[in-house]
Structure 1
Amino acid sequence: MGSDISLCYANEEYLERCAVEIAGRAAMPVALHKMERMEAIRAATEEIRQENAAHYDVTGVLGTMIDVAPPSKTVSQAQIKAIQEELIDLARDAAETLLP
């Protein structure tokens, strides 16, 4: 029983960390008007999914296929933070898809 509770707590913690990461990654393309919110959330979630797959790829091939382009312009950190906070609920839903 105790281990089930610990596992549940660990999953919730992992999902929240993933949600924050997804929202953070999605905020930049939204701020730059390169993507709509849901498109940016999907792209950020897919990046994390690819990174997770690359982490467990013993051949190292998947890691070479990850291509994350740097932003073309700069955006204020305050704007990024505000967008990230707006995206967090969508990001939490997306993070759920990362669990096996």
Structure 2
Amino acid sequence: MTTKESFTESSYLKWRVDQERKWEALCSRCGACCGAAEGDPCEHLQVDGSGRYCCAVYQNRFGWHQTVNGEPLRCVPIRDILHKSWPGDRCCGYKNRTE
């Protein structure tokens, strides 16, 4: 859509859904942002049948949780930490896309 075209409400919502899908598709599901590389990941981090990580509470993930060993862990939007480093971040699809 060009900048001169206006969005209708439904076309805007469709565009937003499409943009979210594209963003989510960047995730390599490495689990590094959830502590998988540190040995004490978030208690909600799960491994699927293909060895990729996923969050058991994905739709409600932001905020305070705890690690498997009971340590406090704050889940934040990945965009808030892309400028930082964390163990295992070299496999992060978001970081690789933005670097």
Range of TM-score over shorter length? 0.3 to 0.5
Which of structures 1 and 2 has the bigger CA Rg?
2
Report the TM-score when normalising by structure 1: 0.35
Which structure would you say has the larger RCO, counting Cα contacts within 8 Å and 6 or more residues apart? Answer: 1
Higher strand share: 2
Report the TM-score when normalising by structure 2: 0.36
